[in-house]
Structure 1
Amino acid sequence: MESNSHARRMASVSVEQGAPAQTKPASSPRLSLILTLLVVAQFVVVLDFSIVQIALQTMRTELGISLADTQWIVSAYGLTFAGFLLLSGRASDLYGRRKLFSIGLVVFALSSLVGGLAPSEAVLIGARAVQGIGAAIASATGLSLLVVTFPEGRERNRALSIFAAVSSAAYAAGVILGGLLTATLGWRSIFFVNVPIGIVTAVMATRFLVESRGDLSQRRLDLPGALSVTAGLLILIYALTNAANQGLFSLLALAPLALSAVVLASFLVIEHKSSAPLMPLSFLRRGAIFSANALAMLTFAAMTAMLILLTIYLQQIQGYSALSAGLAFLPTALVFLFVGGYLSAKLVSRFGAKPVLFVGMTIMAAGFLLLDQLTVGTPYLTGLLPEMLVVSLGAALTYTAFYIAGLSGARKGEEGLASGLINTSMQVGGPIGLAIAVTIVGVVVAGLGGSVTPGAATVEGFRYAFLGGAVLSGMGIIFALLIRSPKTVVVPREPSLETPSP
């Protein structure tokens, strides 16, 4: 009896508005399967950010790619991923979340196949760009499907914590799996592994997920808004990628940064005047949405910079192999899995998002201040690992909390918009953090000149960059204090599910 009651509380209410539907009670095993599908999809799309990095040298050798062009194997994916998130999320509200989720996975799988078969640099980079579009569609719609499947409160918090924890751990897992696959089966296998996962998940999604969409009276996509925000985000990520490689004050960074500002400003004007905007500007003022997205951007900015800089530190300064450097991040991945996947959701359900965000950002700031003690010879186990774990603990608490806060203000029919926006904030935050960190390191190294060894100069630059991470975390503390934390109450209700089409 208690099990049936629990299943009813966990049920989805994601029936298409205005359409008749067959109904049946939801079951806990079925919801577990749905969550598994969504988590698997998110895992593989995040995994692909890092899984290729370990194989870049092998790709360069086999395909004859120059060092300067190698970055685009990674950047092409991140560029289209971030650029199409907001559009994908909003389109899923209008045209069907399950449909777009499956389409995204198929696009991701087929472009992975092309990448694995790529005979040249151009084909590989093109496949990575298309792969990023598929990943954006799957990621934004996957998160919105989670929101409409699990009712707001304890059940959704728990599902979001698992989703966020797996997303966070996937980056470290990508480095490890990339090393293993490249060493045993070759670099093409890192793309081929996505194909069966993407196709099987897409097929199962059409069988087990419930189709849902927002208000059927609002089926018109704001095309000028969609084009302007997608173009603006693409140009912004391109500029930040150049900033990370050429320097923040280089012409290749400043020119597209200025252009992106103009295009994104035009997006705001379009949305203000539109009768059916892609993103109503009032949406950002609702509840905790603005502060949660700011926290997502700041957290990802700080964490991305730490992960990249410490990967360079372990390999170039301390002489770790690529695989050993990946394994060095395994403890941090476990922190995200256990703290982010279990503890954070319980704390948010008990105390609300605001105190959890405040504590998480404070712990992150403390961890970055500890990393300021880094030296060329810092031992991993007794010096570096404890500091990495402190930062990861704070981030793990924060990730789940800003997901919950950022989605709590979405009204029915806006789940895709909220999901696309929080994902976009995260993906934009990463390049911002990396661009800032690389600029800081470059300024410090140039200032030291030949007064110290190149390794010592680089580590000194890293220390200042970690202070930058502490500043970003400190800004996060301010947003955490300002956030309006809605009280979430689990209300028992008798739900209904639309029977999925066979």
Structure 2
Amino acid sequence: MPETAQVQPDPRRWKALAFIAIAQLMVVLDATIVNIALPSAQADLGISDANRQWVITGYALAFGGLLLFGGRIADLWGRKRAFTAGLIGFAAASALGGAAVNESMLLGARALQGAFGALLAPAALSLLAVMFTESKERAKAFGIYGAIAGGGGAVGLILGGFLTEYLDWRWTFFVNIPFAVVAAIGAFLVVREPVGTRNRSGLDIPGVVLASLGLASLVYAFNRAESDGWTAGVTLGLFAAAVVLLGAFVLVESRVRAPLLPLRVIANRNRGGVYMSLGLAVIAMFGLFLFLTYYLQAIKGYSPVQTGFAFLPMIVGMIIGSTQIGARLMTRVPPRLLMAPGFLLAAIGMLILTQMRIDSSYLTLVLPGQVLLGLGMGTAFMPAMSLATYGVQPRDAGVASAMVNTSQQIGGAIGTALLNTVATSAAATWVTAHAAEAGRLGKAAFVNQAAVAGYAAAIWWAVGILVLSAIIAITLIDTGHQGGAPVAATGEDGQDAPALPALAH
């Protein structure tokens, strides 16, 4: 095999990581920070109950539908440019949302946030993939990134609760502006992208249209399933449209000269295993965020700030699992032997939480469940994030990164809709089975008992989903530990990729 030229490490790469991490935190926490502020925003702007879901759904549709397009733009246009443009656009959209004077202005701002997030998120991850090529440094860098990707949603709950309770709901938007400004200035000053890693082959317009519409239909179908039911005509029609559009997308990608998503990226069994197992794990995790928030606030009477801080043990667990377990072992242990045990440990944490009752103690039930969940997810997320771009051709780093975000976004949409539907159905079943106890318990206690029974049933599903994630990881992922050849110099299936001779400002 011919020798491949290696790029000299950029001495400013660790500073660059700090600014990339700030940007990634902003995007991830924005997925949950608005949730806690939504009731206040709804009351202030007069948003109807029927339309309030669009504050969340509009962001999810734009983000999920445009991720692959954003990843390919980063490959074509340059990851540093895409990263900076995404930051500036996200900040502008956040300012628009914070200044919203009516429903339409807020919904438009959320859609713009999603669109610029779809440009920013894959650019951030692919910058790490091409800047950190030495195995031990890559492990540390992706450990930090994995901790943020896993724990950012919980951070959003804390920050959202604090801002809503002590300031105003508008600050859940305005808070993004300093994040974006600092990250953009840092990117301009210290981020250097290796030359020769862009994809100059042009843009696949049919692929863009089919992928964007297909993913948007899929995300929207799960949102409608939550509100209208799984068998509603609109829900079934959207699922059918998603299948047709995404099927046509795969057909187009197999035939065009410069595909939006080269099928070699997902055909690799290791990356395919990562996308599947990660997407499933996010289903379970986002469902838990939803139920624990309801449980702590509606059942236990926690304030928004108390609820946010109640998630801290999970964040700490994720950070420890990602930086102290995953990052330290990634260069010594095959990814499947970190991911599968990590998902199983998270499943044990979920298993503890299935025992929740109205009078359950936070210290003896919720706390240990969260710690195990965080440790397991952090341990699994870290090698998964790295493996998703490990060995990919440099020209495909952006779209491979976009697939990671796509699996998480779709997983989050499915998790919220699927598990909420399970919880609602289980609660209704409990009410029917225990109707005779309504008089003895009292109306409020009876309703709370039913809700908690529903949460527990849904968390049982989350346990099964995490076990399935572990099975997929141990079965499909067969690569050795992530040491050896640098990712940026190694192409698909061990073939040499174009050399990386220099760095560009």
TM-score, length-scaled by structure 2: 0.90
Paired letter, 2:503:
E
1:318 aligns with 2:300: yes
**Deviation string, structure 1 residues 163-212 (Cα, Å, up to 9, x no partner):** 11022222122122222222333222221222233133223312322245
Structure 1 pair 211/406, CA: closer, same or farther in 2 (3 Å)?
closer
Instruction: Give the whole-Å Cα distance in 2 for the aligned partners of 1:162 and 1:172.
Output: 16
Equivalent residue number for residue 357 of structure 2: 375
- Offset of 1:486 from its aligned partner? 3.5
Equivalent residue number for residue 193 of structure 1: 175
Instruction: Give the whole-Å Cα distance in 2 for the aligned partners of 1:302 and 1:460.
Output: 17
Task: Spell out the pairing of 1:257-406 with structure 2 (5 A cutoff).
Answer: 257-406=239-388
Gap regions ≥5 residues in structure 2? 436-445, 490-498
1:468 aligns with 2:461: yes
- Offset of 1:497 from its aligned partner? 4.4
- Offset of 1:220 from its aligned partner? 0.9
1:256 aligns with 2:261: no
**Deviation string, structure 1 residues 339-373 (Cα, Å, up to 9, x no partner):** 21332111222212110011112112222222221
- Offset of 1:25 from its aligned partner? 6.5
Equivalent residue number for residue 147 of structure 1: 129
Gap regions ≥5 residues in structure 1? 1-10, 14-23
1:223 aligns with 2:223: no
**Deviation string, structure 1 residues 310-334 (Cα, Å, up to 9, x no partner):** 1111111222112211111011111
Farther-moved stretch of structure 1 (349-358 vs 403-412): 403-412
Paired letter, 2:233:
L
**Which of 471, 478, 481 is residue 471 of structure 2 equivalent to?**
478
- Offset of 1:422 from its aligned partner? 1.0
Equivalent residue number for residue 10 of structure 2: 26
SS at match of 1:349: coil
Farther-moved stretch of structure 1 (85-94 vs 210-219): 210-219
Instruction: Give the whole-Å Cα distance in 2 for the aligned partners of 1:253 and 1:319.
Output: 35
SS at match of 1:66: coil
- Offset of 1:490 from its aligned partner? 4.3
Contact 1:12-1:150 at 8 Å conserved across structures:
no
Equivalent residue number for residue 130 of structure 1: 112
1:53 aligns with 2:58: no
Structure 1 pair 213/60, CA: closer, same or farther in 2 (3 Å)?
farther
**Which of 179, 186, 196 is residue 161 of structure 2 equivalent to?**
179
Farther-moved stretch of structure 1 (472-481 vs 179-188): 179-188
Contact 1:288-1:409 at 8 Å conserved across structures:
no
- Offset of 1:282 from its aligned partner? 2.8
SS at match of 1:38: helix
**Deviation string, structure 1 residues 269-324 (Cα, Å, up to 9, x no partner):** 11122122111223222250100100110110111111111111111122211221
Contact 2:338-2:380 at 8 Å conserved across structures:
yes
Percent sequence identity is 34
Structure 1 pair 496/33, CA: closer, same or farther in 2 (3 Å)?
farther
Q: CA RMSD in A?
A: 2.2
Paired letter, 2:345:
I
Paired letter, 1:202:
A
- Offset of 1:495 from its aligned partner? 8.1
Contact 2:66-2:212 at 8 Å conserved across structures:
yes
SS at match of 1:127: helix
- Offset of 1:438 from its aligned partner? 1.5
**Which of 420, 441, 447 is residue 438 of structure 1 equivalent to?**
420
1:427 aligns with 2:379: no
